[in-house]
A and B are shown apart, each in its own frame.
Chain A
Amino acid sequence: MAGTKQNGTGKLAANGQNGYKVIGTRPVRPDGVDKVTGRAVYAADVQMTGLLHGFVLRSPHAHANIRSIDTSKAEALPGVRAVVTAADLPVAEDKIEDLGEGAINLKYLSDNILAHEKALYHGHAVAAVAAVNPHIAQEAAELIEVDYEPLPPVMTVDDALADDAPILLDTLRTDSMGEIGTEKSNLASFFRHQRGDLDAGFADAHLVVDRTYRTETVHQGYIEPHAATALYSADGQIIIWTSTQGSFAVRGQVCEILQIPVSRLKVVPTEIGGGFGGKINVYVEPVAVLLSRKAGHEPVKVVMSRADVLAATGPTSGSNVRVKIGVDANGKISAALAELYYEAGAYPGSPVGAAANVSLAPYAIDNLQVDGYDIVVNRPRSAAYRAPGGTNVAFAVESVVDELAEKLGMDPAEFRVLNGAKENDRRPDGLQYARIGQIETVEAIRDSEHYQSSLEGKYRGRGIASGYWNNWGGQSSATAVLNPDGTVNLNEASTDIGGTRASIAMQLAEAMDIEYEQVKARVVDTDTVSYNDVTGGSRTTFATGLAAYNLGQQLVKEMKDRLADQWDVGAGDVSYEDGVFSAGGESLPFVEAAGLVQREEPLMASSTVHPQDFGPGFSTQCVDVEVDPETGKITILRYTIAQDVGKAIHPSYVEGQMQGGVAQGIGWAINEEYIYDDEGHLLNASLLDYRMPTALDLPMIETILVEVPHPAHPYGVRGVGEVNIVPPAGAIANAVYNATGVRMDKLPISPANLLEAMWAREAEPAELVPGDD
C-alpha cells in the first residue's frame, strides 16, 4: 500500500513507523558536530609538512591549436618547484574504458586534464605550476608562454551541425546505432528508440501539439571548488586526498591517465562540499600527482578558483528538443515523438541517452519514437548533473502535455492520471516497470491543499509537471566490526554528501535491532574496503544501505551461532528479539553478548553487493508564480513537491533532497545560464553573474513523501536524490503561461527572455493568442 505524509513542519518525529524502531526517525548525523563547528576537513583543508601549492594555466581561447609552450621563465622564478604540461602525461590510447561513470575514451579523458595539441574551450587547462605558496604559483603560471593559433569556435548544436562547421576532434566519426561513419563530424552519436506505429498514431490523433525548445548550459554549482592534494612518494606509492563522489572512480581515472597500476594509488576521500554529479570526473587530481613527482616527491595541493570551476568543470548540456504528442478525443496519448540534440561540450558524452529514457517515461504510450544526438561544441566537457539530461527534456514534454490538456479542456493532473505509466508499462527504451508510483505522485498533488486552494490575482499562475529518474544500483562494499562494548564500526566507501552516513547506519541498526547511536559510521579510503561505485545515481542509501543490512544479518547470525556453542544448544535454537538473545533458560542482552561471543575470536563481517533491480523514482510538483509585467521577474509564491521515495529511512534528509532538487530546478528554470560572447569566451564565470537562488528567492518548499515501497529492497528504499530536479522547469513554464498567456520555448525564463516573449505576444493578432481559442 502506498502511504503519504505531509512534512516540512520542522517537527521532529519521535519514532519510526510500520514497526520499525530506527527507520523513519530523524537522528543527528554522525558527522554533524564537526560540520557545525568548522572542524570537518574538506579537500582544500588538507595540510601537511612541506606542502606545495599548484596553479593551473588555462586557455584564453575557445578553440585553438597549441603550437608551442615555453615554460622556462616560470621555472626560473624563485619558489617554483615544478611545471608540467601535456608532455608530462603518458601518451593516451584511443580506447574506451568504463571507469565507474559509464564508458569513456581515454584519449579524451587525458586531453581534458591538460590540452595536448588543441585547446577546446575557454578555460581548458594547458599547464600547471607547483610553488611554495599559491601566489608564486600563479605568478609563475602567468610567465608561461603559449603560442596559440585561434580557430573559429563552435558553440551550439546548430553551429556544430552546419555543413561547413569547423571540426573539433579530427578522429571523431559518428556512431549511428553502432555503424561508424567515414567523415569527420561534430556529431558523436545518434540513436533511436522506437515502438508501435508512429504514423498511424499521429493519423488517428484528434489533436497534435508539435513544439521545439532550447535550454542553456548550466552548472551544478556546488559551493566547494574542486581541490586535491597528491603525494608521489620516492618509492612510487601515491596518495591523493580529494573531494569526490567516488574515491574508486578517481583511482580508476587517475591510474588510466597516468598508466600506473591501482595498487600504487590510494585515494582518501575528504568531506565533500557538494557534487550533484560534477565531482565524478577528475580534473586537478592527475595534475597534482604529476607536480608532486616532478617537485621531488613533495606533496602538492591544487585548489580551483570559482572562475575555473565554472569555466572548466561540470557543466550540463544545453540542448535543442523537439516534442510532438498526439491525443485522441478522450485525451489518451496516441503517439509521441521526441528529438533530443544535446551539447556534449568538448568531448563526446552528453547525457542524451539518459534524457531519452526520462523523456516520455511518466506516460503509457504505445506508439513512440525518441531520437538522440550527442554533439561536441567548444564548451567544457559536460558532466553529470542530478538526473543528467532529465530537466531539459521534461521542460519540453511537460510544456506540450500542459498545452494538450488545456486544449482538451482537461485538468492537467487528470490528464496525467489518465495517461500515467504504471506497473508493466514500458520506458521509451523498452524497459518494463515493476511497481512504480507515478500516478500516486500526481494524485498526491491533485489532492493537496495547495492544488485545491484558489490562486487569485493578475499575473499569477499555477503550473504542475511530472518527472522520472531511473535511479541506479551499482556496486558497494562495506565491513562491520563488532566492538566488545556492543557498538559496531561501519566502514563504507560511499562518500557522504547529504547525510548518508546516517541513512546507512540506520539500516544496520534496524537490521541488528540496536540503537542508531551504537553504530559508528565512517567513510574509508580505497585501500580499506573493496570496490565501491560513486555516490550518484541516487544509489547510496539503496545499495550501500543493502550492504549494511547484509552486515547486520551476518553479525546477528554469527552471534547466535557462537552463543549456541556457549550454551550448548542447537544452532537454530537461539532466538533474538527486542535486543535480547535467548535459548532454553539462557538469555543475554545484545551489549553483553557482544563481549561474550568475542572472548575466543573477534567478530567482523563484510558485504559486497551489486543489485540490478533498483526502483525508479517519480515526482509531480505544483508551483504558484507571480510575474512582474514591468521587469519580467518571476516570484515563486508557493511550491509543493510530491515524490515516490519508496521508504524514507531518515525523513528529514529525504525532504532535504526533495527541497534541494527543487531549488536547483528553480534556478535552472528562471536564472541560470552560461553566457558566451561571439568568440566563445565565457562572460559570467562568477557567482555574482552566474546567479543561483538565494534564501530570499525561494519560499518554504512543501514536501509530500509518497511511499510506494520498492519490492526488491528489504526496507523498500528507492533512490531519492535526483528525480526532484526533473519537473521544476516544466512546472514553472506552465505556471508562467497561466500567469501571462505566454508559453516559453526556452530556458531560462529570465526577466529578459520573458519580457521579450510577453512583448512578442502583445504584438500578435488577437485570434492567435493561446488560451483564447
Chain B
Amino acid sequence: MAKKMAVETTLNGEETVFLCEPRQTLLEALRDNLGLIGSKEGCGNGNCGACNVILDGVLVNSCLVLAPEIEGRSVVTIEGIAEDGELHPLQQKFLEHASLQCGICTPGFIVSAKSLLDDNPEPSEHDVRLWLAGNLCRCTGYDKIVRAVLDVAESDA
C-alpha cells in the first residue's frame, strides 16, 4: 500500500491537516479522507463540473487536482459557501427558482456560479451560460439555473 503524506491547507477558511496517498485526487481526499461529501464525482475527468471547488480564488475540477497539490493553498468547497449559518443568496435563489431536480449537480453549479459572481458581479445571460458550460445538468435544461444566477446578480446590483 502506498505511503501516506500529510498535507497542510486552508479548507473553507480553517487551517487543516490531513493524510492522503500521493495518488489520491483532491476530490477523493475531500470525500473519503475529510468527510466532505458535497463535492460529487460525475465523470472523473473534468467534463461535468460536479466536483468544482475554488482553489486560491480559481475555479477548478477537484477530480483533476491531486490532493498533495493543495499544500499551503486555500480551498473553498460547497460546504464553505454558506456563511454564519445563513444560506448564500445563490443557495436561496436555487431553492426559490426550483433550479434543482435531482440535485447531484447542484453543489458544483453553486460553487461555479459563486466563482462567476466573484469575478463578474453583473453578468449577462450569455456570460452565465458560457461560465456554466463546464457544469453538466441533465434534469433542468439549465433554464431555472440561469435565472437563479441572474436573479442573484440583479438582487446584489
Tell me which residues across on chain A come within 8 A of B103, comparing CB atoms.
31, 35-36, 40, 271, 273
Q: How far is the CA of A47 from the CA of B35 in the complex (A)?
A: 9
A681-716 vs B, CB cutoff 8 Å, 1 = contact: the mask equals 000001110001111111011000000000000000
Among the interface residues A37, A41, A662, which one has the most CB atoms of the partner chain B within 10 A?
Answer: A37
Is B140 an interface position by the 8 A CB rule? yes
Tell me which residues across on chain B come within 8 A of A271, comparing CB atoms.
102-104
Among the interface residues A31, A223, A663, A687, which one has the most CB atoms of the partner chain B within 10 A?
Answer: A223
Instruction: Using known A-B contacts A276-B138, A498-B139, A695-B135, determine if residue A656 contacts B38 with beta carbons closer than 8 Å.
Output: no
Interface members, chain B 25-55 (any A CB < 8 Å): 31, 35-45, 47-48, 50
Beyond A36-B87, A653-B101, A659-B143: 16 further Cβ-contacts under 8 Å? A12-B96, A31-B103, A35-B100, A35-B106, A42-B104, A273-B104, A306-B43, A498-B101, A650-B98, A655-B143, A659-B140, A663-B141, A687-B47, A695-B132, A695-B145, A701-B143
B128-156 vs A, CB cutoff 8 Å, 1 = contact: the mask equals 11101111111111111111000100000
Instruction: Using known A-B contacts A135-B23, A136-B1, determine if residue A38 contacts B107 with beta carbons closer than 8 Å.
Output: yes
A1-38 vs B, CB cutoff 8 Å, 1 = contact: the mask equals 00000001010100000000000001011011101111
Closest CB in chain A relative to B43 CB, distance in Å: 4
Q: How far is the CA of A106 from the CA of B63 in the complex (A)?
A: 38
Interface members, chain A 485-529 (any B CB < 8 Å): 497-499
Residue in B closest to A34 when the chains form the complex, CB atoms: B103
Residue in A closest to B139 when the chains form the complex, CB atoms: A660
Interface members, chain A 273-300 (any B CB < 8 Å): 273-276
Closest CB in chain B relative to A273 CB, distance in Å: 3
Among the interface residues B21, B87, B94, B140, which one has the most CB atoms of the partner chain A within 10 A?
Answer: B140
Cβ contact within 8 Å between A306 and B98: no
Among the interface residues B37, B94, B135, which one has the most CB atoms of the partner chain A within 10 A?
Answer: B37
Closest CB in chain A relative to B23 CB, distance in Å: 7
Tell me which residues across on chain B come within 8 A of A276, comparing CB atoms.
138
Complex partner residue of B136 from A26, A28, A305, A694, CB under 8 angstroms: A694
**27 interchain pairs, CB-CB under 8 A:** A28-B95, A32-B100, A35-B106, A36-B107, A36-B110, A44-B31, A47-B35, A133-B1, A135-B2, A223-B42, A223-B48, A223-B50, A225-B42, A275-B102, A305-B44, A499-B101, A652-B144, A656-B101, A656-B140, A656-B141, A660-B101, A660-B138, A663-B140, A694-B133, A694-B142, A698-B129, A698-B143
Cβ contact within 8 Å between B102 and A272: yes
Tell me which residues across on chain A come within 8 A of B104, comparing CB atoms.
42, 222-224, 271, 273-274
Closest CB in chain A relative to B110 CB, distance in Å: 6
Tell me which residues across on chain A come within 8 A of B67, comparing CB atoms.
none
Cβ contact within 8 Å between A38 and B95: no
Complex partner residue of A273 from B23, B102, B133, B135, CB under 8 angstroms: B102
Complex partner residue of A656 from B138, B144, B146, CB under 8 angstroms: B144
Closest CB in chain A relative to B61 CB, distance in Å: 12
Is A78 an interface position by the 8 A CB rule? yes
Q: How far is the CA of A26 from the CA of B107 in the complex (A)?
A: 22
Closest CB in chain A relative to B20 CB, distance in Å: 11
Cβ contact within 8 Å between A664 and B138: yes
Q: Which residues of A contact B (CB under 8 A)?
A: 8, 10, 12, 26, 28-29, 31-33, 35-42, 44-45, 47, 78-79, 132-133, 135-136, 220-225, 271-276, 303, 305-306, 497-499, 650, 652-653, 655-657, 659-660, 662-664, 686-688, 692-698, 700-701
Cβ contact within 8 Å between A663 and B142: yes
Tell me which residues across on chain B come within 8 A of A32, comparing CB atoms.
95, 100
Instruction: Using known A-B contacts A38-B107, A659-B143, A686-B47, determine if residue A223 contacts B136 with beta carbons closer than 8 Å.
Output: yes
Closest CB in chain B relative to A78 CB, distance in Å: 7
Q: How far is the CA of A141 from the CA of B47 in the complex (A)?
A: 26
Cβ contact within 8 Å between A695 and B102: no
Complex partner residue of B141 from A42, A652, A698, CB under 8 angstroms: A698
Q: How far is the CA of A574 from the CA of B67 in the complex (A)?
A: 66
Interface members, chain B 74-112 (any A CB < 8 Å): 77-79, 81-82, 87, 90-91, 94-98, 100-107, 110
Instruction: Using known A-B contacts A42-B104, A135-B21, A694-B133, determine if residue A225 contacts B41 with beta carbons closer than 8 Å.
Output: yes
Complex partner residue of A37 from B38, B41, B137, B141, CB under 8 angstroms: B38
Tell me which residues across on chain B come within 8 A of A133, comparing CB atoms.
1
Q: How far is the CA of A686 from the CA of B96 in the complex (A)?
A: 33
Tell me which residues across on chain B come within 8 A of A26, comparing CB atoms.
98
Q: How far is the CA of A35 from the CA of B105 in the complex (A)?
A: 9
Q: How far is the CA of A662 from the CA of B141 in the complex (A)?
A: 7
Tell me which residues across on chain A come within 8 A of B137, comparing CB atoms.
223, 695
Cβ contact within 8 Å between A695 and B146: yes
Cβ contact within 8 Å between B139 and A36: no
Tell me which residues across on chain A come within 8 A of B37, comparing CB atoms.
38-39, 41-42, 45, 47
Cβ contact within 8 Å between B138 and A36: no
Q: How far is the CA of A697 from the CA of B141 in the complex (A)?
A: 10
Instruction: Using known A-B contacts A36-B94, A38-B107, A305-B44, determine if residue A221 contacts B142 with beta carbons closer than 8 Å.
Output: no
Q: How far is the CA of A306 from the CA of B102 in the complex (A)?
A: 18
Residue in B closest to A310 when the chains form the complex, CB atoms: B43
Residue in A closest to B132 when the chains form the complex, CB atoms: A695
Tell me which residues across on chain A come within 8 A of B94, comparing CB atoms.
36
Cβ contact within 8 Å between A274 and B106: no
Residue in B closest to A657 when the chains form the complex, CB atoms: B101
Instruction: Using known A-B contacts A223-B42, A306-B44, determine if residue A660 contacts B91 with beta carbons closer than 8 Å.
Output: no
Closest CB in chain B relative to A79 CB, distance in Å: 6
Q: How far is the CA of A498 from the CA of B106 in the complex (A)?
A: 13
Q: How far is the CA of A697 from the CA of B107 in the complex (A)?
A: 21
Cβ contact within 8 Å between B142 and A10: no
Closest CB in chain B relative to A667 CB, distance in Å: 9
Complex partner residue of A687 from B96, B133, B136, CB under 8 angstroms: B136
